Each structure stands twice: as structure tokens, then as C-alpha cells.
Amino acid sequence: MNIEINGKPISVSKDFEDATLLDFIRDFAGLKGTKFGCGMGLCGACTVHIDDVAARSCQVLVEEVGDQSVTTIEGLAMADPAGSFHPVQQAWIEESVPQCGYCQPGQIMTAAAFLNRNPNPSNKEIKQAMNGNLCRCGTYERIRKAVARAAREGKINARN
Amino acid sequence: MLETDAISMSRRRFLKKSGWLAAGVTVVTALSYPLIRSAIPALPTRNDPLPEDGFAWVQALSDGHIRFFCPRMEMGQGSPLGLCQIVAEELNLSQSEIECVLPDTNQVPHFKMTVGSEGIAKYFEPVSFGAAQLREKLRSIAAKKAGLPREKVEDSLGGFLLPLGRQIGYGALVPSEPLVLFADDYPSSRKALPRYALLRRDKYQAIGQSWKHHELEAIVTGQTVYARDVSLPDMMFGQVLQPPTFGSLIKSVDVRAAEALAGVLEVVINKEKNFIGIVADSPLVLPEAIGAINVHWEISEELNQDQLDASLDVDEFRARDEFEHILASDGDIGAGKLRSQNAVAARYDTSFAAHAAIEPRSGLAWVRKNKVEIWCGSQDPFFVQQRVAKAIDRRVDDVIVHSHRMGGGFGGRIVCQASEEAAILSAATGRPVRVQWDRETEFQNNYFQPSFSHHINAGVTDEGTISHWQHDFVSSPILTGLVPPAIGWVLDKVMADEGTARGSLPQYQMTNRQVRYSDIRTPIPIGAWRGLGSAPNTFAIESMMDELASKSGIDPLKFRLQNLPSTSERLAAVLHRVAEISGWGRHSPKNTGYGIACSVYKNVTAVAIVAKVHIDHDASELQVNKIWCVQDSGLVINPDQVKNQIMGNIVWGCSMALKERITFEAGAVEQRNFHTYEILRHGESPEIIITLINPTNAQSTAVGEAAFAPVAPAIANAVFAATGKRVRRLPMNFDNVFSNSGS
Ligand code: FES
Ligand code: FES
């Protein structure tokens, strides 16, 4: 069995087939940017994209991924041919969002998928879309500003 | 590798010459009670830095960089960045010329645990001193090299300017090994050394700039290595069976089923230490292996919340008129009462709480014959070093702790239990072992913020001054919360816990006041949590101030201002300013209210908060829409970082006010994950407006915990303004505000 992560097929060893996608990404694929926070789908630290839709990798089994493609924070910028940062990452840098930073890959993945669907969100829509991602350090205000900035700078093209 | 050796060699030379080797290995503690000290196994690292400690933290490299061994751990508070700016100010550097390193425990002498919002306040001086001295040492080398007197060698970016416009970079002055400072580099007098970080306040080049954090790009691309992300080539995976209740002991255990599982390498049992752990070759095996252990526990603690509440109940203590510590006793309460026109007596309660950092702790240990290495994230790596040495019975000097950025600290990572567990498992198997706590383990096995119960009896004279203030409260010791119970019992006889009492003396003028408290140990493990006692104590004080104002018919802002002593100009200034930016005193629409509160964190950082709340009766919701904050924390090193910390504090304040509550049942924590221990979510977070007062001639003071304390009372006071209902118990929500028991 193979699954595709960040554009590359990775073969799944037998014992990882019924593991969570999060454990597979971190401990098998060795991509540590996707974080464990709660293991119960409550915090969003483990957010990745599965076929461009945000998903909580702690709640998905490897065998459920099938032939869909998985994107992690490490692969996000690759979607943007222009540079080393995805526009959402760029906005995060401009607004200096992170404190400890641990929740931020998940926040960015959620925001990128959201803006892909809704490139022109209202403040209220941003709040709703980001509600599932906890930030204990309390960076919510800057996250809102960064999402609004990424939308305003308009580099995100709605694909669907 | 070569480079590491070079560093540690310089360090050995440095230590020898300076004679600090001895000082470095002695843990200087605040406890001078000899008997107790020898009985305490290991203590957090508590000595404040001396100016000359800065000598060990800066080195010039031959590639032109300045290496800064940052003596503050990074958990998102950003003080390492601020300290880099101080280094840059002294050495005329741009940000890219500084290599900021979180040092291993063998690279620098002991430094104090990273706590108490002291990162800039206490480390400004030694960092500036060390960096300035390194600059002058480099200047001497440049002068010698050019055959010029020192005065002819002028400052320039990243180096010096010689006559005829010749530039010389620092790198050209450093042969190959890093250039370090020795004790004999100590200047004839500390005053003789020009200190740019202190002197050139009107032309700073690095201080006062909003530098972006050196790890920012790594964070947003997922490249930052937290403790949880470290791995070693032949690493094994460990997990320890955690006791089901506080203090339960292993009675008997059968591990045959666990041992028989494929992938399990070893089951490590140490009954004396109450320890059962699994080492496996895959992390996936661990949950099943732990589940397969058949163990009988001897349950010693079946304590529940009612019993805890009863043992920390201020009314009980008042009934017996029995408080251990008297913090203030001025004037004559009886006489004050006679002058009171409007008196209020009220009780305020706050809950037990957890840190709930999003990264659950993790440790990787590799125990070899002559070397023990630990990779972890802790606020006190030197304490981790001692505790690991103790756990596996090795010399402290054999243990090296490699520190990583933490995914949140908030006082909760003074220890890293996962590292100790990993060390025990690695010692037993000889393999590197990683132990990662899951969320449930993190909630159940760390220490907590204790609940507080307060009773305040106070009054206002007909001139609007405070006639009397009688405040009693009960909670648990926080600063010494982690010492073993037997020692704690002795300790409590000789000292009052200052952490519990933090922020309990009001800033207001009061001729007749009495403040008493008891710090009671319970079986619940207690330790530092953001701001220690300051938030619970400020909640009580600032709520009562609001009650007094409203009972006397005085505007709450005016009431505070008219009761501040003339020496409190900085607090008065932030109050005035927050009133201005929030439009204080305006008419508020129905079901909307504004509340104000203030405090001076650690008696140095003045903060004023205005909160706007809205009650949505259709949705049965109590919403905090907007918070305004004005803070005066002296000279601001990095305004953007300071504002980020303030935002964090405001979110914490909302979370404390609206959400957080740990309860205990049958000797265990009831909340094990974020569905039962709720912290503020994005959708509930307010809009935040911040103004910094930046007096460039005042010293930098505490930031990391400062703005937290007044937030919850500002919200409670806003709820009163909106509804006429007093919130005296936290957390609050729509239901408890509008039920009768809400007040
Ligand atoms: S770790 Fe997956 S949602 Fe928290
Ligand atoms: S930045 Fe620390 S949890 Fe979000």
C-alpha cells in the first residue's frame, strides 16, 4: 500500500496501515511539522490537507487515505510555484503571529484550506472557520489579522 | 562535532580561570534552613543572575557572528529575542549577525529557571554587561592589531572603524577558536564600561525595534524542532504506567501478557519507585502493552472536590479566626468601620486550573556508561539535570540536558517528568528511549494552580475614601508546592508562601487594613501557573473595588483614581489612558456593559484593562467583545513581542473568567482532555486594543504575566454594568450569572 504525501508516494509498512495518519506522518514519514495536541480531534494541531480539504490527522487512519493526496505544513509552500512560503505563511510572518508556535502549523493548514474555499471571508467567517484550532498562547487576534491579510493580498486562487 | 568540542574547551578554561566551576555546581537556594536543605532531594534553580554571569553567554566567532548562549528558555514569551537585541545594541550588530543558542547544560554555568516574567527585567543587566565587555575586548584586539591607541578604534556596524575609513569586522579579530571572556577581563569598575544599552536611549539601533523572531520562518514552515520532534537513529519508544489516583502504590503486578507482545523489548519494574514502564521498538505497540499490564494498586487517596473545597474554605478559617500569615495590619479596623458610610462584605472564589499547553511534554534519553543525554523542553534544564541524575543514580555532571523550544510553558514545565521516565527506561535497556506524554497523562500527572477563597469586608467614607479593608484568604503554597510533603510540613512552619500571596496587597490608600491568609497543603500537587496568586488575588481586590464604587454611587474609574496614593503616578497614568482609548463613561446599549480593573504586577508593571461584554439572551450567551489594555512595563525592547504577550495574557484572562476549572473526584482529575477542560476558543476571543506606555528612561519590567491579572475582574465588572449581577465565583457563564446561585 502507498499513500501520497506532499506529492511523493510513500509505501506503508503493514504495521502502520491501521495507525493514525498523524502517527504515520510523524513517526514513519518523519515529517515533524504536523503536531500532536490532544489525539481526540479537539485542538487542530494535527491539521493536514487531504485532497485540499483540512482534516485532523489524529482522527484519520492511514488505510482510509487511499489514493487521495495528503499535504502537510512542509508541503504547503510547494503548492505555490512563486516562492518558499505559501501566501498564508507569508501573512503569518508579516503579522508575527506565533508565540510558542506549536499550534501554528495546524492553524496555517486550516486557514489555507479555508481561504481556498472562501477567498474573501468576513471577520465572522474567519472566526468560525478557525474555531476548531486551539491556541493556548492566545494568538487569535493576530491569526484573524493574518487570515484577513492573506485574503486581501489576494494571491490565493479558489480552485474549486 | 569539532565545534562543540571547541566550545566546551573554552568553557573549561573560562570556568577554571574565573573560579565559577564551584559556584556553578552549587545550587543556591532561597532556603537557608540547613536541615531542610540537606533533606530536599533537588530544587529548582533559583539564584538570580549576577552582572558578571553575562561573561559566559557571549562569544565572538571567526566568521563574524556573535554567539549568544541565551540564559532564558524559549516557550513563546520571546525574551530570548529581546536579549538578542540587547546584545546587538552593545555590539552594533544587525539581527543576522547573532547566533542565538539555547545552551546545553554543559555549555554554561547554572542559570535560574525561566519564570516570573524576569527574562528582560533581570537579564538586561548581565547580558548588556557581558556583551559590552566583549565589544571592548574586541576593540583592544583591533587596536593592537592596527598599532593604534584604543580611542582611535571607533564603533561601526559588526566591527570597528579605523582611521582613513578602514573597516574591520569582528571576525577578522578572532583567530579560529571562539573568543570568550575570562574573569580577568573584568573591568576595573563596572561603571567604567560604556553601556550602549543604557546610555544611548535616544539613538538605539536595535532596542525598541520590532525585530521578528529568529525562529519565525521555521515555525510557520513546520521546521522548528520541539522536544516532541527529536529522534535518534536507534531510538526505542517508552511509556510508563501512570497511577490511577494521586499517591496510589503498586501492590502487585503481572507483566507476562505485556512482555509476550511482539515489539515489546522490556518491561521495567521498580516497585520501590512505584515504576512500571514499557520499552518497545515501535510507538504503535505501547498503548496495547500498557493495557496488558495487570496491576493492583493500593489506593491511598480518594479525595474529592467537596473535601478539597472544605479544607480551603475561607469561612471555616474565619469562624475559627485562625490565619497563619498576616501580610498587613495597619491602623484600626474597628475605628475605620465607624467612619464607613457604605460597607460591603463579600466572598470571591477561583478554581483549580491546569496549564494545558498544546504540546504535551516529551523526553528523549540516552544513558551510556559515561554520558547521559536528555533532550527536552523545560523551564529549568538544570533542575531536570539534577532530577534525572537522581532518578538513575548518576552524578549530576554526567548528565547533559539539550534544551528545545517549548510548545507553551506558563509555569508548568519546571520539571519534565517524561525525561526522567525516559532516562530510567534507557538506563535499563542501554538504548535511547523516547517518552511522549499524551493529553490525558499531561492533565492527570502535572501540578495545578490551587483554588482560592477570599473574604473581603470593606467600606467607603462619605468623602469617598476607603474606611477599612479586611481581607482574608485561603489557598495552597505555590512556590514550595513541589517539595515532598514531609519537608513541606516543616517549611510551612517557618515561611509564608509568597507566590500564593502575590498581588494580594491593594495599590490603594488605606489607613485601616488587615490582610491575612493561610496556605494549606492538600494531596493535590501544586506549582507555578501563570502569575501565581496574582490573578486570583486581583480578581478579589478589583471586584471589591467595583462593589464599593457602585455602592457609593461613584464611577469605578474615578473611585480608583481618587484612592490611589500620589506615588502611584504610573498606575494612574495607565488608568487615564485606558479610559481615553476605550471611551470610558459613554452610554452603553441594553445588555452591554463596560468594566474596568487594574493592577501592578510584582509592584513594577502597571496595567489597566477595560472589558466590553454583551449578553445575548436569545443565544443564552455571555460574550466578551472587546478588551482595551494599557501597560507600562518601562523601556520596551521589542514592542511587537510585548504586544503579543499582552494579547496572550488577555486571552488567558478571558479563559480564566469564562472557562477553566479543574475538579477532582476519587483522588484523580476529572478533566482529561479539551472537551472537559475547555480553554478559550477562537470564536470566543475578543477584539484586542493595546497601548504601550514606553518611558525610555525607566527600566524594563515584567511583561510575560503582567496583563493577566486585571482581565477577569474587568470582565466581571462589565457583567455587573450590563446586568446588575455580581459574579463572585469563576469561571462564569450565562447560566450561572442568571441563576440565583451566580452571586
Ligand atoms: S491532535 Fe488532532 S485534533 Fe488535537
Ligand atoms: S502559539 Fe502557542 S499554542 Fe498557539
**How many angstroms separate the CA atoms of B391 and B372, rounded?**
12
pLDDT band at B42 (very low <50, low <70, confident <90, very high): low
Query: Which of B204, B220, B236 represents a domain boundary (last residue)?
Result: B220
In a domain, B307, yes or no: no
Domain of A37, CATH number, reads 3.10.20.30
Decide if A96 and B212 are in contact by the 8 Å CB cutoff.
yes
In a domain, B626, yes or no: yes
For residues B62 and B200, state if they share a domain.
yes
Burial of B489 (0-12, 13-18, 19+ CB in 10 A): exposed
For residues A39 and A83, state if they share a domain.
no
Cell digits of residue B719: 457583567
Q: Reply yes or no on whether the pLDDT at B589 is more than 80.
A: yes
For residues B697 and B672, state if they share a domain.
yes
The Å distance, Cα B409 to ligand 2 centre, comes to: 10
The Å distance, Cα A72 to ligand 1 centre, comes to: 14
Query: Which of B436, B471, B501 represents a domain boundary (last residue)?
Result: B436
Instruction: With H, G, I as helix, E, B as strand and everything else as coil, classify residue B278.
Output: strand
Q: What is the reported pLDDT for A157?
A: 54
In a domain, A59, yes or no: yes
> What secondary structure, in 3-state letters, does chain A show?
CEEEECCEEEECCHHHCCCEHHHHHHHHCCCCCCCCCCCCCCCCCCEEEECCEEEEHHHCEHHHHCCCEEECHHHHHHHCCCCCCCHHHHHHHHCCCCCCCCCHHHHHHHHHHHHHHCCCCCHHHHHHHHCCCCCCCCCHHHHHHHHHHHHHCCCCCCCC
Percent of chain B with pLDDT over 90: 86
Question: Which of A35, A43, A46, A100 to mutate for ligand 2's pocket (most ligand atoms within 8 Å of CB)?
Answer: A100
Q: What is the reported pLDDT for B183?
A: 82
For residues A30 and A11, state if they share a domain.
yes
For residues A70 and A54, state if they share a domain.
yes
For residues B604 and B687, state if they share a domain.
yes
Q: Reply yes or no on whether the pLDDT at B36 is more than 60.
A: no
For residues A148 and A85, state if they share a domain.
yes
Domain of B463, CATH number, reads 3.30.365.10
Q: Among the atoms of ligand 1, which is closest to the Cα of residue A57?
A: 2
In a domain, A143, yes or no: yes
**How many angstroms separate the CA atoms of B78 and B403, rounded?**
15
Decide if A142 and B644 are in contact by the 8 Å CB cutoff.
yes
Q: How many structural domains comprise chain B? A: 3
Instruction: For this complex, say whether ipTM is above 0.95.
Output: yes
Mean local confidence (pLDDT), A11-36 = 95
Rg (CA), chain A: 15
**pLDDT per residue as tens digits for the range B238-279:** 999 999 998 899 999 999 999 999 999 999 999 989 999 999
In a domain, B441, yes or no: no
pLDDT band at B188 (very low <50, low <70, confident <90, very high): confident
For residues A10 and A34, state if they share a domain.
yes
- Exposed e or buried b per residue across B261-277, where buried means at least 16 C-beta atoms within 10 angstroms of its C-beta: bebbbbbbbeeeeebbb
**pLDDT per residue as tens digits for the range B91-143:** 999 999 999 999 999 999 999 999 999 999 999 999 999 999 999 999 999 99
A94 neighbourhood in chain B, CB within 8 Å: none
Question: Does residue A102 line the site of ligand 2, with CB under 6 A?
Answer: yes
DSSP letter for each residue of B641-672: HHHHHHHHHHHHHHHHHHT--B-EETTEES--
Decide if A43 and B358 are in contact by the 8 Å CB cutoff.
yes
Q: A122 CB near a chain B CB, below 8 Å?
A: no
B224 neighbourhood in chain A, CB within 8 Å: 101
Decide if B77 and A99 are in contact by the 8 Å CB cutoff.
yes
Cell digits of residue B228: 516532541
Q: What is the reported pLDDT for A156?
A: 61
In a domain, A30, yes or no: yes
The Å distance, Cα A135 to ligand 2 centre, comes to: 5
Closest CA of chain B from A37, distance in Å: 5
Query: Which of A76, A109, A126 represents a domain boundary (last residue)?
Result: A76
For residues A62 and A82, state if they share a domain.
no
Q: What is the reported pLDDT for A159?
A: 44
Mean local confidence (pLDDT), B496-509 = 96
The Å distance, Cα B663 to ligand 1 centre, comes to: 23
For residues B375 and B336, state if they share a domain.
no
Closest Cα in chain A to B652? A138
By alpha-carbon position, which residue is closest to atom 4 of ligand 2? A135
A34 neighbourhood in chain B, CB within 8 Å: 222
For residues B531 and B616, state if they share a domain.
yes
For residues A53 and A115, state if they share a domain.
no
Alpha carbon separation from B76 to A46, A100, B14, B294, B404 (Å, rounded): 19, 3, 31, 41, 12
Question: Does residue A139 line the site of ligand 2, with CB under 6 A?
Answer: yes
The Å distance, Cα A36 to ligand 2 centre, comes to: 13
Q: How many structural domains comprise chain A? A: 2
Place of cell 504525501: A5
Q: A110 CB near a chain B CB, below 8 Å?
A: no
- Report the residue of B74, B217, B219 to disrupt the A interface, i.e. the one with the largest count of A CBs within 10 Å: B219
Question: Does residue A46 line the site of ligand 1, with CB under 6 A?
Answer: yes
**How many angstroms separate the CA atoms of A27 and A32, rounded?**
8
Q: Reply yes or no on whether the pLDDT at B434 is more than 70.
A: yes
For residues B407 and B502, state if they share a domain.
no
**How many angstroms separate the CA atoms of A28 and A33, rounded?**
13
Which residues partner with B250 through β-bridges? B297
- Exposed e or buried b per residue across A125-160, where buried means at least 16 C-beta atoms within 10 angstroms of its C-beta: ebbebbbbbbbbbbbbbbbbbbbbbbbeeebbeeee
> What secondary structure, in 3-state letters, does B588-608 show?
CCCCEEEEEEEEEECCCEEEE
Q: Among the atoms of ligand 1, which is closest to the Cα of residue A46?
A: 2
B282 neighbourhood in chain A, CB within 8 Å: 15
B209 vs B740, residue with greater confidence? B209
For residues A87 and A136, state if they share a domain.
yes
What range defines the domain where residue B627 resides?
A: 312-353+448-742
For residues B540 and B582, state if they share a domain.
yes
In a domain, B306, yes or no: no
Q: Is B247 left (phi over 0), alpha (psi -120 to 50) or beta?
A: left
Surface of A (55-94) touching B: CB under 8 A: 72-74, 76-77, 84-85, 89, 92-93
**pLDDT per residue as tens digits for the range B533-563:** 999 999 999 999 999 999 999 999 999 999 9
For residues A49 and A100, state if they share a domain.
no
What range defines the domain where residue A100 resides?
A: 78-152
Contact B5, B104 (CB under 8 A): no
For residues B597 and B460, state if they share a domain.
yes
Contact B9, B107 (CB under 8 A): no
For residues A57 and A67, state if they share a domain.
yes
Give me chain B's average pLDDT, please: 92
Query: Which of A76, A110, A142 represents a domain boundary (last residue)?
Result: A76
For residues B85 and B215, state if they share a domain.
yes
Which residues partner with A11 through β-bridges? A2
For residues A14 and A54, state if they share a domain.
yes
Q: What is the reported pLDDT for B13?
A: 39
**pLDDT per residue as tens digits for the range B366-383:** 999 999 999 999 999 999
For residues A69 and A90, state if they share a domain.
no
Mean local confidence (pLDDT), A123-127 = 98
Question: Does residue A103 line the site of ligand 2, with CB under 6 A?
Answer: yes
For residues B319 and B381, state if they share a domain.
no
Q: Reply yes or no on whether the pLDDT at B418 is more than 90.
A: yes
Q: Reply yes or no on whether the pLDDT at B10 is more than 80.
A: no
Closest CA of chain B from A94, distance in Å: 9
In a domain, A139, yes or no: yes
For residues B421 and B497, state if they share a domain.
no
Q: Reply yes or no on whether the pLDDT at B525 is more than 90.
A: yes
Burial of B511 (0-12, 13-18, 19+ CB in 10 A): middle
In a domain, B39, yes or no: yes
**Global pTM value:** 0.94
For residues B168 and B99, state if they share a domain.
yes
Classify residue B526 by its DSSP letter.
Answer: B
Query: Which of A42, A60, A76 represents a domain boundary (last residue)?
Result: A76
In a domain, A57, yes or no: yes
E-strand spans in B427-536?
433-436, 452-460, 466-475, 513-519
Q: What is the reported pLDDT for A154?
A: 74
**How many angstroms separate the CA atoms of B133 and B152, rounded?**
18
In a domain, A158, yes or no: no
Q: What is the reported pLDDT for B496?
A: 87
Domain of A128, CATH number, reads 1.10.150.120
Closest Cα in chain B to A14? B284
